[in-house]
Structure 1
Amino acid sequence: MTAPPALLTSDSGSVRTLTLNRPHRRNAVDRDLWGLLRQALTEASHDPAVRALVLTGAGGAFCSGADLTSGAADPRHPLDKVRDLNEVALLLHESPVPTVAKVDGAAVGAGWNLALGCDLVVATPESRFSQIFTRRGLSPDCGGSWLLPRLTGLQQAKRLALLAETIDAEEARSLNLVTWVVPADEIDAYVAGLADRLAAGPPVAQAQTKALLNEGTGRTLREALAAEARAQTANFASTDVTEAYAAFAEKREPRFTGRWFRQPATEDPSCAKQ
């Protein structure tokens, strides 16, 4: 019997959903799944038809982290193995597409950090979270050491990482680690509506905004202002700005496309015959 795919991909309009599909391992990510995630995130970032991305897990769990049981079958040096995690974390962080983690169930270790690497996190009350690394004699990976203190502050990040406590969704929300907590029977519709709203937004401006916010904590005010100026220049090169003004004047919703403002001429004068 052929094993089911470890990563499911589905599209609804301009929203792409990636579903970790190893429920027998609570969606723990092995070498093959890291590779599938890397490929899927790369494709989504370069596909203009994808305007929002949802990351979730199958079978009542989000992700229980990296699959440590598969290590014996992988002869690579540990640094090479961690590179798989690093590439996925960077792709998720740097993607120009807005990303949403839909968490229902456990999000543990690298699995929690995959969720934290998304722009927004929606969880059910039943969800549980843990930076489990120290219980395994390890330290955070998949971006956790960078993400946690920026989202919740240094002291709470140390508490979560050093004690490896398990917290519920409401506490995670109070620590700025979950954006919304939604009942389990409502989360599918809630995330679908949220993703549709993101997909309807101006893609160039959203990509610029995401990059500015991600990079802003490491900049001085002067550097941030210069980056904002560059971003606005890119925004004004898009037809979305004129579309937004037209929609406002016409009292309708804008239809954003992300197209470049300058359209190619039907005939290049420099190539015309003399």
Structure 2
Amino acid sequence: MNPVLVEVSNQVATITLNRPERGNALTSEMVTEFLNIFTKVENDPSVHIIIITGAGKYFCTGLDLQLGSIINEEVSNKFERGYQFYKIIKDCHKPIIAKINGPALGGGLGLIFTTDIRITVKEAYFSFPEVKRGMVPAIISRYVVPEIGIFKAKQYMLTGEKISAEQGVTDKFITCVEKDHEELNNKVNSYIKLLLSNKPAAISTIKELVNLMGSTENEELKKDYIRKVFIKFIKQIYSEKQSRTKL
């Protein structure tokens, strides 16, 4: 059984983590397969939206800590692969929806933080359980801390507490909570319609713009990027108006 599935339909690619018997926990092989698929759909001009979801009860329970998945490669290589896994998803120029079908733990919750719109069923919950195993959520801290802040990040990572779906909305890292899987599908479809009604070039630039604004304190860098974006799209609008006038 393939640990990662993909379905492309009507400009939407749905990538499914498919190890339900292990809570969709991530192995090195699974990460490699996911990135191969993800890169293909990101570069596919017919795909405008990417959805990430899980098979079975869980969305993703993070890194698979079975002994075999740890000793098969050097730790440094595992770090590089893991770091690239999250970075590639976060840097994607297409909108990504997390369709959260169940609990997300550790690195699985980190995966959610790389997405743009996050819709979950009410029964789902979240946590950073690494501390209970004497571990640290190192790689994913790169995406979690800037978004929820130092105070909340410390609380969640130090305690490993269970975070309800509703609390995720309150703490502003979940878009919305739906009562069941039917409503989850409906809400995801409503966001798909909204996104498909917008211009891909503008969506891509907005993602890059927001990521930059949230990742650096360099005011000159921010100003320079904003200037380029402003000029580019103003010129584009005037050009389109002139073309319509000529017609």
TM-score computed with the length of structure 1 as normaliser: 0.81
Aligned-pair CA distance for 1:197: 2.0
Aligned-pair CA distance for 1:225: 2.5
Structure 2 residue 200 is the aligned partner of structure 1 residue 203: yes
- Judge conservation of contact 1:110–1:141 (CA < 8 Å) in 2: no
- Judge conservation of contact 1:52–1:196 (CA < 8 Å) in 2: no
Distance 1:156 1:73 in 2: 30
Structure 2 residue 74 is the aligned partner of structure 1 residue 38: no
Q: Which has the larger radius of gyration?
A: 1
Aligned residue type for 2:227: A
Q: SS state of the match for residue 47, structure 2? A: coil
1:110-151 residue CA offsets vs partner (Å, 9 max, x unmatched): 001001110111111101101111112111144x21222222
Aligned-pair CA distance for 1:86: 1.1
CA gap of 1:241–1:103, structure 2 versus 1, over 3 A, is farther
Distance 1:155 1:57 in 2: 30
- Judge conservation of contact 2:28–2:69 (CA < 8 Å) in 1: no
Distance 1:45 1:173 in 2: 28
Structure 2 residue 183 is the aligned partner of structure 1 residue 186: yes
Q: SS state of the match for residue 57, structure 2? A: coil
Distance 2:238 2:124 in 1: 38
What number of residue pairs does the alignment pair up?
241
Structure 2 residue 228 is the aligned partner of structure 1 residue 230: yes
CA gap of 1:71–1:214, structure 2 versus 1, over 3 A, is farther
Distance 2:235 2:53 in 1: 34
Aligned equivalent of 2:7: 10
Distance 1:141 1:49 in 2: 35
Counterpart among 74, 77, 84 of residue 74 in structure 2? 77
Q: SS state of the match for residue 60, structure 2? A: coil
Aligned equivalent of 2:122: 125
Q: Which moved more, 1:55-64 or 1:192-201?
A: 192-201
Distance 1:193 1:150 in 2: 28
Aligned equivalent of 1:167: 163
Unaligned runs of at least 5 residues, structure 1: 247-274
Q: SS state of the match for residue 186, structure 1? A: helix
- Judge conservation of contact 2:17–2:60 (CA < 8 Å) in 1: yes
Distance 1:233 1:159 in 2: 42
- Judge conservation of contact 2:50–2:96 (CA < 8 Å) in 1: yes
Distance 1:146 1:191 in 2: 27
Distance 1:6 1:43 in 2: 17
Aligned-pair CA distance for 1:236: 5.6
User: Equivalent residues in 2 for 1:139-178 (5 A)?
Assistant: 139-142=136-139, 144-178=140-174
Q: Which moved more, 1:168-177 or 1:76-85?
A: 76-85
The RMSD of aligned alpha carbons is 2.2
Distance 1:76 1:237 in 2: 51
User: Equivalent residues in 2 for 1:212-251 (5 A)?
Assistant: 212-217=209-214, 218-235=216-233, 242=240
Tell me the percent identity: 25
Distance 2:7 2:186 in 1: 16
Q: SS state of the match for residue 147, structure 2? A: helix
- Judge conservation of contact 1:51–1:200 (CA < 8 Å) in 2: no
Structure 2 residue 25 is the aligned partner of structure 1 residue 28: yes
Aligned equivalent of 1:112: 109
